[in-house]
Structures are given as structure tokens and as C-alpha cells.
Structure 1
Amino acid sequence: MNPELISSATTGPPTMVVPKGTFLVMPTTFKGPCKFQKVFVQIEGTVIAPNDPRKWRGIDPTLWLQFESVSKLNVSGSGEINGRGQNWWKQSCKISPKAAIKFADCSDLWVTNLRSVDSQQFHISILNSQRVTISNLKIVAPGLSPNTDGIHIQNSQHVRVEKSVIGTGDDCISIGTSVYDVHIEQIACGPGHGISIGSLGKYGTEATVEDVFVRFSNFYETTNGVRIKTWQGGKGFARGISFEHCNFTNVDNPIIIDQYYCDGVPGKCKNQTIRFYAKKNTIRVSNVTYSNLQGTSRTPAAISLNCSQSVPCNLLQFDMVNLISSDHKINPQAYCINAHGNAKGFINPKISCLQ
């Protein structure tokens, strides 16, 4: 059954309405540019994807719902987007839709008040877009569902994500390359892999991330808290990043920089950072602030700063950090490889390895 789409262009900006009810929608792209200055999409019902991957035969397998080249787009409502990803999770993620909802080449975009459930991979993907606000979302998938990032941001600038609850099988929010000026505030994250900058530099590619601010957010039983992850052999930088006023509850790795990332498989990739060419082939991490962070770690690795052995992480700033163990048998520690910076105020555990 196709959704009932109602246009109200005669009385104001055009509005596409999905009314209450449940509607099966095949892979669809809404493509601009539009002749109207503003476009509204109001979702009050439940939009579901085909639950059989074979329905994508002859169709681009990376897409389900896509909005492309639409400016001043407002997507909102009390409805639900359900990717019914269970059958996708059973097979290779390489042939799954990359996002339940993809916004590509959009500007002045607002996405508010929706619920996204069981996406095939990413729930929401923001690509090549500017001036984006995402607010008051509920994003849900099982903790073991693969690659179901809540919100993925890439090649985009001036993005705000706020006041949302995200629990998935991967990063609650992930930030890829060519990203500038991102503000993330008041996020409840868990289960999942935390909020991540990266992964950056895969296959030796160049990546740039600058001016990312994560504030007033809570992490519940996630595998990571605030994370920066890069591949060996990449080029570029991640800088001007701030993590402030965050709380961690029973988190494996509350604070982590991992410049040896390898699809989440420790030891799978050989150490390349000590080779003679490594200085030219390293994502440079610098000017990162950790301020007013507190909570509990369920592993000894409360703080892990695993930087490149050839190019250090520079200007790491710690101010008022208190991470204790969620298990009295564990003594939280700070671990470093080539991490440079300073700490002030109360810091627990002590970061004596910081150079």
C-alpha cells in the first residue's frame, strides 16, 4: 500500500502528509530543486520498508528513503520510520541500504520529533548538506544490530543535533570526513558505541574534521563514550573538538582516541605508524578538550589515548574529569601512546602518561 500524499500548496508552502496508519513504501527518492521556498513533510503514520531484501532487485541497493537537493525542507511529525532491518542484518552489510533516510545536498534542513526503528544500516544520514537541525528524535535498534548508527554526518557543515534519545547497535552519532561546525547537545546514548569522530582515513584517503562540540549528553552502558577513531595510512586532520559536561554510566571506554582503528578488530591491521613515511600518512589529531566529564567505567581503560607513534596527538586539554569504576574490583587507569597536552583541576584517574 502506498502512503496517501496530500499537498496543501494552495494555502501556503507545499506539505506532503503521511496520515495515521501503516504504509509500505518501496525505495523512493524525492528530488529537488523545488520551485517553492519552503517544503514540509509531515509524518503522522508509520512508514515501513519491505522486509525482504529481494524487493531491491533492479533497484539501487543502497537506498530506501532519500531526499536530494531540496532546500528549506522541514520533516516532522509524531509518526515512525521502520526500516524492518532484521533480514538485512543477517547478510553482508555491503549490500544493505546505507541509510533508512538519507538527506543529500540539502540546505536549511529541519528534522524533528520523529521515531526511527530498526534501520537496515544508518537510521539517518546527512551528506553534502549545510545548515541542518535535528531535534527531539527517538532512534531505536537492538544493541547487536550491525552498522545501525543513529545519525551519520559527512561532507556537511553547520549541523546541530539536540534533545534526542538514541539506542542502536553502533555509534549513536558518527561523524565522517569533510565536516565543519557541528554542535551535539542533550543526547541520551545507549545501547551503542557512543558518539564518534570517524572512522577517518580508510584506504589512505584524506579526511578533515574541525570544530565539533559535544555537550550535556549522557551515555548508558555503551562500548565507548566520546571517541575519535582513525585508520593508519590516512591523511588530514581532526581538530578543534570539545567534549564537555557529559556523564557516563557503566561505559567500557568513556574517553578514547584510537589511531589504530581496523573495523573494530584489534590486531587485525599491522602497525604502520613507525614506518619512515608515516608522518605524511597520518590523520593529525589536535586541540581536543575534555571538560567536566564524569561517571563510571566498567573496564580498567577509563581513558585511552592511543595516538600515532610517528605524529603525536597535540594540545589535548583535560579539565575536571572524574571517572570511577562500576566494579569495586577494577581500578580505572589512563593509557597513552604519544599523547601531548595538559591537565588541570581534579582529574581521576591521573593521566601521568600525558606528555
Structure 2
Amino acid sequence: MFSLMIDIGSISPDFAPSNITGDSDVIYNVLDYGAVSDDKTDNSQAFLKAWSAACNAETGTPKVVVPENLGFLVYPVIFQGPCKPQNIEFLISGTIVAPSSPSIWDQGDVGQWLAFSRINGLSVHGFGTINGRGKGWWDQSCKLHPELALKFIGCNDSRLSNILFTNSPQVHVDITGSYGFSVHKLIIQSPGDAAPNTDGIHIQASHNLSITNSTISSGDDCISIGDYTSDIEVAYVECGPGHGISIGSLGQSGNFAQVENIIVTNCLLNGTTNGARIKTWQVGKGYVRNVVFKNLEFIGVKNPIIIDQNYCQVRGACPELDTGVHISNVTYNTMSGTSSSKIAINLNCSRSFPCSEISMEAIHLESVTPGNQVTASCTNAYGQEIDVLPGPCLQHMSIMK
């Protein structure tokens, strides 16, 4: 169907930059600020010193460099902005490694490992690796895990590209409160049986964001889209193993969800638990609207097309409530492949807030087991469908009225 192409300021500086290549490109190599490439030295302060020097540069486009062919142990750090330059780069050519012992986080914030905060014009890129050493965390209670490997907080007009992420304790990349953010050509790898919440990329309270040309293997959602997000594009992403590409879960604490203008196109989902998924908690409020899933291919996916508007702690035992997040104007177009379960299309919507304006066209799904049949199940879901197998499933809008 398509082809994926994957390539792979508060501390005063103590040293001068090691290499100046002109006013437009000033290099701040972490080695010049005391970083040591071994498996026992905590390089947090060296990284922060290099960052502070770059963030406070008066001219040019500064570039913090993690040099190639070297690995650096880094404890939890926050690279703080705002910075003086309009643009700043963080080039990861080598490897950044998390501490192997969970005890390192005993006195710190378990919510993050590497964080960039309030930086505009940031570019984190290179052909290096970020290794979260997650196994030590997966073997204990998930409540004790640090939330994620790399977090962006309030970073506008910024980008992340060409990095390999491996084995984060939980979420590999988190983007929160950001506008105009581009994610391109990432490879994310963690086992399919890793601990819960090892999402590949999570987006929260962000707008005008794109994720393209990436390969994601994880123990949870490959991509999850949280509350207060809009204008999100996901294109040419290969997902699997994992839980699929998900909008949600939304409204867990009864909050008001606002998610709109989401497009997921030209993606391959291989051996995932879900394919194109929208999941909202019964106690939630608000809306999900203007969503497009188009040109998707499924290989042995358990739930290729799924909406669960009755999400709760105990699956299948949710009492019916009169609350819900309204899901409307969702388009599924041009999809094919195989389902590993009998129900290939499953729209489980709320009686109080039915799913409306659902459109399905050119969808051809069959069982991964030759000779077996698949079915479609739609509850409180209204719209229209053309050339959909299995089907028909949706109820007509006239019935809703």
C-alpha cells in the first residue's frame, strides 16, 4: 500500500566551546564540560553546563553535541529555557544511558528522566541512541516507574528527529503544552511484553504537531493522543508490537476532553492489540471530533477498528452512566488487512452520548486464519458506510433523530 523510509540555563559554564565553525554554528561538546564516557560516571552536571553555555550564547545557532561512538550515563536532568538564541540544537550522535538502578530516583522526580522545558526553536536530532534501561523498572510495581525517557514541556516550533529510543521504563517520548512540533524519522524499540504505559510517543495539550516516517515497537500504544490536543498529523508510521495508534484514553477523572482535527494516514499496524482506536472513560465529558483514519494496513491486528466509549477500570463490567465524551465526525477510509479476532470492527458507544457522523468507505478486513469469518459490531454508532467488509454495521442518522 505504501513504503516506509526510516533513517536513522541556570548553571554558569566553566569551559569555552571546543569548536567554532562560524557565527551560525557554535559547538558545545559535552566532553569539554567534563563528561566522561563510561558506565559509572554521572554526567548530569557536564551536560547541564554545556546546555547553559549554549542557551546563553549571544550569537549564532549554538549546538550541544553528544559525540559519536561514545556512551554517557546521565541521571535525571531538566534542560531549562527560555534561551537567548532564536534556535538551538541538541545533537545526539553517541548514546545517552539511564541509570540501571531504580534507587537513583528515590530522592528525585520519578515523572521524567531527560526533559526540555520552555525552549522555542529547539532541534533534538542526530543518529544516536537514548537507552532508558527499562527492565529494572518493569520487574517492579508500575506505580514506581519514572514516567518517561524524554519529555518536552512548552517547546514551540521545535523538532525531534533521527534518534533511536530503546527500553524506556514507561513512555519513550512525551510532548506536553507545545505548539508547532515536528517528530520525524524516529525508531522506538521496547518489547511487546514490557510493563504497562511504555507508549512510544504521547501527546498532551499540544497543537499543530506532526509525527512522520517512524517505526515504533512498544509494550503499550505506539502513539497516544491525550486531552486538549488539536491539529495532529500522523503519517507513514509502522507500529508493532504494541497497542496501536490511540486517541485517548480521555476523561479518566471526569474532566472535559477537547480533541479535534486529527489525521492518521498511510500507516502499517503489524501484530498490534488495536489498530485505529478511540477510547474514552464513561465519567468523562467533552468531545472528540473531526478525526480521519485513512490508508491503513493491518497484519494480524486483534481490533483493527475500535471505539470504546465505555472505558473503565474493569473491562466488560462498566455500569452504564449518563456521562460520556461525545465522539463525532470520524472517517475511516481505504483500509485493508487481517484481524486476529472475530470482531474486526467494534464500535462500542454510549447510549447517552452516541457516536455520530461516522463514515466508513473502502474497508476490506478478513481473518488472519484462512477460512474463518470476521464480523462487525456497532452499538449506539450512527453514520454511513460504503463498500465495507465486514458490514453493514452503522445505524442511520435518521434512526438517531
Q: TM-score, normalization: structure 2?
A: 0.84
Summarize the alignment of residues 112-261 of structure 1 with structure 2, pairs less than 5 Å apart.
112-146=161-195, 147-261=197-311
Aligned match of 1:289 in 331, 334, 350? 331
> What do residues 66-90 of structure 1 show as CA deviations (whole Å, max 9, x unaligned)?
0000000000001000000111112
Partner of 1:354: 395
Q: Aligned-pair distance for 1:329? A: 4.4
User: Using the alignment, how far apart are the partners of 1:352 and 1:206 within structure 2?
Assistant: 29
Tell me the SS of whatever aligns to 1:56. Answer: helix
Partner of 2:356: 314
Tell me the SS of whatever aligns to 2:253. Answer: helix
Distance 1:306 1:284, change over 3 A: same
Cα RMSD of the aligned pairs, angstroms, is 1.5
Partner of 1:14: 62
1:342 corresponds to 2:384:
yes
Rg comparison, structure with higher value: 2
% same residue: 44
Q: Aligned-pair distance for 1:267? A: 2.5
- Partner AA of 2:158 in structure 1: L
Say if 2:296 and 2:335, in contact at 8 Å, map to a contact too: yes
- Partner AA of 1:307 in structure 2: C
Say if 2:80 and 2:118, in contact at 8 Å, map to a contact too: yes
Say if 1:62 and 1:95, in contact at 8 Å, map to a contact too: no
User: Using the alignment, how far apart are the partners of 1:90 and 1:314 within structure 2?
Assistant: 43
Say if 2:59 and 2:85, in contact at 8 Å, map to a contact too: no
- Partner AA of 1:27 in structure 2: P
User: Using the alignment, how far apart are the partners of 1:131 and 1:293 within structure 2?
Assistant: 29
User: Using the alignment, how far apart are the partners of 2:393 and 2:168 within structure 1?
Assistant: 42
User: Using the alignment, how far apart are the partners of 1:62 and 1:246 within structure 2?
Assistant: 33
1:271 corresponds to 2:319:
yes
Say if 2:73 and 2:98, in contact at 8 Å, map to a contact too: yes
User: Using the alignment, how far apart are the partners of 2:287 and 2:169 within structure 1?
Assistant: 30
1:57 corresponds to 2:101:
no
Higher strand share: 1
- Partner AA of 2:241 in structure 1: P
Say if 1:233 and 1:272, in contact at 8 Å, map to a contact too: no
Unaligned runs of 5+ in 2: 1-40, 397-401
Say if 1:190 and 1:219, in contact at 8 Å, map to a contact too: yes
Partner of 2:155: 106
User: Using the alignment, how far apart are the partners of 1:41 and 1:352 within structure 2?
Assistant: 50
Q: Aligned-pair distance for 1:40? A: 0.2
> What do residues 97-153 of structure 1 show as CA deviations (whole Å, max 9, x unaligned)?
111000001101110000000001000000000000000000000001121100000
User: Using the alignment, how far apart are the partners of 1:259 and 1:92 within structure 2?
Assistant: 28
Partner of 1:39: 88
User: Using the alignment, how far apart are the partners of 2:58 and 2:225 within structure 1?
Assistant: 39
Greater shift, 45-54 or 86-95, is seen at: 86-95
Say if 2:129 and 2:164, in contact at 8 Å, map to a contact too: yes
Say if 2:60 and 2:85, in contact at 8 Å, map to a contact too: no
User: Using the alignment, how far apart are the partners of 1:84 and 1:126 within structure 2?
Assistant: 21
- Partner AA of 1:352 in structure 2: C
